[in-house]
Structure 1
């Protein structure tokens, strides 16, 4: 009888520890709205404007199938809605925006995942001092775009996702960061 009680207590303790670690280690869900700020910044309620570092280069992404010669319109629309390939690394998401990096070709994917009148943006930072880049998805909700960049193969990149208001040209939190991703894709 005593052994059964200890076994049950051990299982209960292990399950409790697992739940606690999952709760404390999990990032905020991509669809959660951030709490309101006390500062009262412009923009959507509860969002803060994000300042871009000096020298940041901003580019609009293109639909994934646009580079193909004479693309089939249905195929291009399907590719834009389908999302990034499985080889995309560093998948990162925050309220309505997602991004990842394909190392072969240095291609960044940016997804607009929420219908809120704003666009998705992904900032790309390096560990070797290159000025940051930003890739914008202005194609609307449930679409993905790509930005083709060229980075040093021995470097690492890190992604930061935000929402972007094209009417004002401002970037807003919530934001999320990826871990460092090797440009050559070899961890």
Structure 2
């Protein structure tokens, strides 16, 4: 009976040590990075600046609008708050930024998901050598914007999301990458 008790205690001790090591050794999730509080030219504490490749084209996204003959402010606000359609592929997110790609029309969606004084950005890369594009969401927290591009239908695109500081014009990690997405949407 004493041996059974010792075996159970050994298993319990081992399990406790394993849980403790997992809790203390696990990396901080991207969603747990502290918000930008005291930014300067060096960026938020603990964040690394991301250098853009040469030739990168940066565009500001526009709020999505529903199909209507005349601009409808309420419809545009509802579409911006609703987020991307279910046909959006390659959904990718990191601290406060999200993005995805709609293959029909080559439209990129960029969501600013955290109130921290920074904007969301999505970088778009191709597998055929085209210079990267970046789409910025400067519309504020809980909004989505779109950037309409034109890519080769036989190519693939990949998304990278970051935070963007419009005051300094710099991009910051944490970042996240999508897998390669066929431009024609056919996997």
TM-score normalised according to structure 2 size:
0.81
What's the CA shift string for 1:17-72, capped at 9, x where partnerless? 99999999999755221799999981001101000000000000000017743232
Number of equivalent positions: 187
Contact 2:158 2:181 in 1 (8 A): yes
Contact 2:35 2:116 in 1 (8 A): no
Distance 1:88 1:167, change over 3 A: same
What SS does the corresponding residue of 2:121 show, helix, strand or coil? strand
Distance 1:29 1:79, change over 3 A: farther
Contact 1:151 1:183 in 2 (8 A): yes
Is there any run of 5+ residues in structure 2 with no aligned partner, and where?
Answer: none
What SS does the corresponding residue of 2:31 show, helix, strand or coil? coil
What's the CA shift string for 1:64-86, capped at 9, x where partnerless? 01774323221111110110000
Quote the RMSD (CA, aligned, Å): 4.4
Question: Which stretch shifts more, 73-82 or 149-158?
Answer: 73-82
Q: Displacement of 1:15 after TM fit?
A: 14
Is there any run of 5+ residues in structure 1 with no aligned partner, and where?
Answer: none
Contact 1:34 1:47 in 2 (8 A): no
Distance 1:162 1:73, change over 3 A: same
Distance 1:165 1:78, change over 3 A: same
What SS does the corresponding residue of 2:32 show, helix, strand or coil? coil
Structure 1 runs, 4 residues or longer, greater than 2 Å off: 1-30, 34-41, 66-69
